[in-house]
Structure 1
């Protein structure tokens, strides 16, 4: 068997394996978070989220509930340069997102068991 045929058989088998793998992982709804944004947001969403009075007032003015906020947060981007990740107790993250063509920014304090939305601002 020539080298070209071997490579051809290998590529056919490899592509079939990738299709099966993608099908089963999509069915399991598995997520793979390799980027900083994905890891930080997934970590925040896994905790009990609390809202400061300022954040509650802003959410009330935009008619946002916690489910809508979770969706907005999931689509957000973490701005590491504006975040304070060097703290020992609770890290403070600055997250930017969009909602109904509005640019929103969140300041979230991410502690061990809870995440507190300190401020929400419209830019």
Structure 2
């Protein structure tokens, strides 16, 4: 069999396979979180998110708001050297992010199996 016949058979099969994969995955809410940072942030975002008293006090101040928290939970960086420590039946995670005004913030989040609690918001002054 000549090369272009083999190539044609391969491309036809590959196209049919792509079609079936697209049909299977199109109706599902699939995410490809392969890296630990993305997995942790996705896990925290998909749980009920509560605010501790200290975090609520910081949110009442003018330098940070809930939109900054959401952006940090989407685009932030988890510090695994300081994180993943057991605390009160959950795990403490330290997440670094930025506010709308491009100020650096640090979130202390306790991740429980059924919920996530924002314990504190720390402002990094330069």
TM-score, normalized by length of structure 2?
0.71
Q: Which runs of 5+ in 1 are unaligned?
A: none
Aligned to 2:86: 87
Q: Distance in 1 between matches of 2:104 and 2:19?
A: 38
Contact map agreement 2:68 2:99 (CA 8 A) in 1:
no
Q: Which has the larger radius of gyration?
A: 2
Aligned-residue RMSD, C-alpha: 3.0
Aligned to 2:107: 106
- 1:46-85 equivalent positions in 2, closer than 5 A: 46-61=46-61, 62-65=63-66, 67-83=67-83, 85=84
Aligned to 1:39: 39
Q: Distance in 2 between matches of 1:104 and 1:5?
A: 60
SS of 2:86's equivalent in the other structure is coil
Q: Distance in 1 between matches of 2:65 and 2:70?
A: 10
Q: Distance in 1 between matches of 2:12 and 2:56?
A: 55
- Comparing 1-10 with 96-105, which one deviates more in the overlay? 1-10
TM-score, normalized by length of structure 1?
0.73
Q: Which runs of 5+ in 2 are unaligned?
A: none
The Cα offsets for residues 55-108 of structure 1, whole Å up to 9 and x where unpaired, read as: 12222222513x54223211111110111x252721000111122311111110
